[in-house]
C-alpha cells in the first residue's frame, strides 16, 4: 500500500500526459485539474482502506473517459427538470405548479427582448407593472383593484403593514396558521408592526368574540383559510358575511389570507371546501390574498385583490417595491390568467387543473402503459394498482383524488436504494415507498414522461 501511495502521480504531471490531451481540448484546464485532484484524493482513500490493490492506467482512454463523465456530471445544472411520480400535484419540493406552454412562451418572449414592463405605450411615459394583470384579476375575481407581489407571505405582510402598522389585528386562535418552513402567521403580524389580538378558542370562535375585541385601536379583522389542516368535531367559525357586516359597522377592514386560492369551483372533481376567490370577495371581504403558483396554476407570486381605496394604499407603500413581482413571473401570470377566459377551458389548459380533473380511466390507462414499458425493458416484478393522489401545496389536506400507480421491485436494489438511484438519473424520477415497494403515482405524470421513466430504469442496468 505504501508503495502504491508513493506511485500516485502529481496533478501537474498528469495534466501534461498524452492521456489528458483529449480532455483538455473538450474542457477547461481548471475543470480537468479539479476532477483529477478529486479522483486522486478518492483513490488515495481507497488505497489506505485496503479496498484497492492496484493503480489504474492513467494514460488509458478508460481513465480519461471516467474523468469526462465526472466533468459532465458536474456540469449538470443544479436546478433541473424532474419527473413527479408522487401523486402530489402541487408538490412544494418539486416546484409546485407545472406551467402551461402559453406561460412558458410568454416568459421566453419577455426574457429574450426588452419589454414595456413599466412603459405606457399610449403615452410614452412611465407606467405600472401592475397594469398588465390588474384588469384580468379584477375580471376573474370581481375585485375593484389588484396588485401582485413575489409570494403570498409577502402579500400578507404588505397588506398588514399598509393597513394596521401600530394598530391591532384581531384573529381567531383557530386560524393562527403555520405555513412551510416554520413561518407562522403571528410572526408575520409582528413583523408588520401590527399588534395581534387573539380571540375565541382553538376549536370555536364566534362573531361576538371579534366584536368584543374591537376598540378604537383596531384596524383589521383577519381571517385565514386553514388550507393545510382541519379542525373537526365540536367546532364553530363565523361566516364571512357575518364578519363583513361587523367590520363595516365598526370601520375596520376584513382581510382574508386564502393561502392557495382558486378561481374555479373544484367540487365537481370531489375537492370540497376550497373557497373560490370571487365568492370570498362577494361575501364582503375587503382584501383577499392568495398564491399564484398553487391551485391557480401559475408562477410563484402573491395576489392581493379587493377594494380600490385599500389597494391604492398598498401600491404606494414603500414595502411594495421591495416585494414586487419580476417581469418573467409577471409574463407567466398574465398568460395563465388568460387561460381562464373564454374560449379557453382552464381544466384542459392549465396543467394543475388538468391533473386534478383527468378521469380515473385516463390515469389507469397511463399506469398500464408505464407498466408495459417497464416490462418491455426487462423488469418482471411490475404491477399496476389503485392509489390516492392529493392536490398538495398546503391545500385540501384530507381530501384525495382516485388515482393509479405502478409498483416495481428490482432484485439488485432495496426500495430505498432504488429511490436514491432514480433521483440520480439524468432526469430524476421522484416516487414514493409504500409497504416496502417503490411506487409511482401517474396522476402527476404526463404521457410524455412515461418514456422518461422507462429510460431512467433502463439506465439502472448501464455499466
- Per-residue pLDDT of the chain (463 residues), as tens digits, is 788 888 898 999 999 998 899 999 999 999 999 999 999 999 999 998 888 888 999 989 999 999 999 999 889 889 999 999 999 999 999 999 999 999 999 999 999 999 999 999 999 999 999 999 999 999 999 999 999 999 999 999 999 999 999 999 999 998 888 766 567 888 999 999 999 999 998 889 999 999 999 999 999 999 998 755 566 667 788 899 999 999 999 999 999 999 888 999 999 998 888 899 999 999 999 999 999 999 999 999 999 999 999 999 999 999 999 999 999 999 999 999 999 999 999 999 999 999 999 999 999 999 999 999 999 999 999 999 999 999 987 777 678 999 999 999 999 999 999 999 999 998 999 999 999 999 999 999 999 999 999 999 999 975 4
Q: How far apart are CA 59 and CA 20, in angstroms?
A: 8
Helix (H) or strand (E) holding 306: strand 302-306
Distances (CA, A) of 55 to 15, 21, 52: 17, 20, 8
Distance CA 409, CA 431 (A): 13
pLDDT at 183: 72
Q: At 194, phi and psi to the nearest 5?
A: -85, 165
> Nearest-CA neighbor of 219 among 146, 284, 162, 147?
162
Residue 229: predicted pLDDT: 59
For the domain covering 83-92+353-459, report its CATH number: 3.90.1150.180
C-alpha–C-alpha distance, residues 440 and 444, integer Å: 9
| CA–CA separation, 451 and 449 (whole Å) | 5
Contact 36, 14 (CB under 8 A): yes
Class of domain 131-323: alpha beta
Say what the alpha-carbon torsion angle 129, 131, 136, 142 is, to the nearest 10 degrees.
120
Which of 399, 389, 369, 370 has its CA nearest to residue 441? 389
Provide the pLDDT for residue 463.
45
323: nearest Cα among 459, 105, 156 = 156
Could you tell me where in the chain the CATH 3.40.640.10 domains are found? 131-323
Burial zone of 434 (CB within 10 Å; 0-12 exposed, 13-18 middle, 19+ buried): middle
Residue 202 has what pLDDT?
82
What residue spans in the chain does CATH classification 3.90.1150.180 cover?
83-92+353-459
Residue 285 to residue 281: CA distance in whole angstroms: 5
Separation of CA 10 from chain center: 46
Between the two ends of the chain, the Cα-to-Cα distance in Å is 28
Amino acid at each position: 500500500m505504501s508503495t502504491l501511495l508513493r506511485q500516485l502521480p502529481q496533478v501537474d504531471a498528469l495534466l501534461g500526459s498524452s492521456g489528458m490531451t483529449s480532455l483538455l481540448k473538450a474542457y477547461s484546464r481548471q475543470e480537468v485539474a479539479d476532477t483529477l485532484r478529486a479522483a486522486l484524493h478518492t483513490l488515495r482513500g481507497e488505497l489506505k482502506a485496503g479496498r484497492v490493490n492496484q493503480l489504474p492506467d492513467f494514460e488509458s482512454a478508460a481513465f480519461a473517459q471516467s474523468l469526462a463523465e465526472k466533468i459532465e456530471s458536474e456540469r449538470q445544472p443544479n436546478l433541473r427538470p424532474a419527473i413527479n411520480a408522487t401523486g402530489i400535484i402541487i408538490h412544494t419540493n418539486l416546484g409546485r405548479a407545472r406551467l402551461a406552454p402559453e406561460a412558458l412562451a410568454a416568459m421566453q418572449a419577455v426574457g429574450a427582448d426588452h419589454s414595456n414592463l413599466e412603459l405606457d405605450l399610449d403615452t410614452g411615459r412611465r407606467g405600472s407593472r401592475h397594469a398588465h394583470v390588474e384588469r384580468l384579476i379584477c375580471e376573474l375575481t370581481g375585485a375593484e383593484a389588484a396588485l401582485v407581489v413575489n409570494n403570498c407571505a409577502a402579500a400578507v405582510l404588505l397588506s398588514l403593514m399598509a393597513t394596521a402598522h401600530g394598530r391591532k389585528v384581531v384573529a381567531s386562535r383557530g386560524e393562527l396558521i403555520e405555513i412551510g418552513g416554520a413561518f407562522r402567521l403571528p410572526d408575520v403580524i409582528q413583523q408588520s408592526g401590527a399588534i395581534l389580538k387573539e380571540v375565541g378558542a382553538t376549536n370555536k370562535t364566534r362573531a361576538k368574540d371579534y366584536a368584543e375585541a374591537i376598540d378604537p385601536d383596531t384596524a383589521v379583522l383577519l381571517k385565514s383559510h386553514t388550507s393545510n389542516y382541519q379542525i373537526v368535531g365540536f367546532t364553530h367559525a363565523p361566516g364571512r358575511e357575518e364578519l363583513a357586516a361587523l367590520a363595516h359597522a365598526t370601520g375596520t377592514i376584513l382581510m382574508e389570507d386564502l393561502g392557495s386560492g382558486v378561481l374555479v369551483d373544484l367540487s365537481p372533481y370531489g375537492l370540497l371546501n376550497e373557497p373560490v376567490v370571487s365568492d370570498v370577495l362577494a361575501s364582503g371581504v375587503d382584501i383577499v390574498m392568495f398564491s399564484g403558483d398553487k391551485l391557480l396554476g401559475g408562477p410563484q407570486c402573491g395576489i392581493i385583490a379587493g377594494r380600490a381605496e385599500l389597494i391604492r394604499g398598498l401600491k404606494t407603500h414603500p414595502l411594495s417595491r421591495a416585494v414586487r413581482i419580476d417581469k418573467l413571473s409577471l409574463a407567466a401570470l398574465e398568460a395563465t390568467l388568460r387561460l381562464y377566459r373564454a374560449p379557453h377551458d382552464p381544466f384542459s389548459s392549465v396543467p394543475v387543473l388538468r391533473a386534478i380533473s383527468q378521469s380515473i380511466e385516463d390515469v389507469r390507462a397511463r399506469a398500464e402503459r408505464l407498466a408495459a414499458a417497464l416490462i418491455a425493458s426487462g423488469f418482471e416484478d411490475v404491477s399496476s394498482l389503485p392509489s390516492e393522489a392529493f392536490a398538495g401545496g398546503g391545500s385540501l389536506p384530507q381530501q384525495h383524488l382516485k388515482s393509479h400507480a405502478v409498483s416495481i421491485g428490482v432484485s439488485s436494489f432495496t426500495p430505498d436504494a432504488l429511490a436514491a438511484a432514480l433521483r440520480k438519473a439524468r432526469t430524476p424520477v421522484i416516487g414514493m415507498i409504500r409497504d416496502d415497494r417503490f411506487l409511482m403515482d401517474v396522476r402527476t405524470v404526463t404521457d410524455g414522461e412515461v418514456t422518461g421513466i422507462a429510460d431512467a430504469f433502463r439506465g439502472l442496468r448501464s455499466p
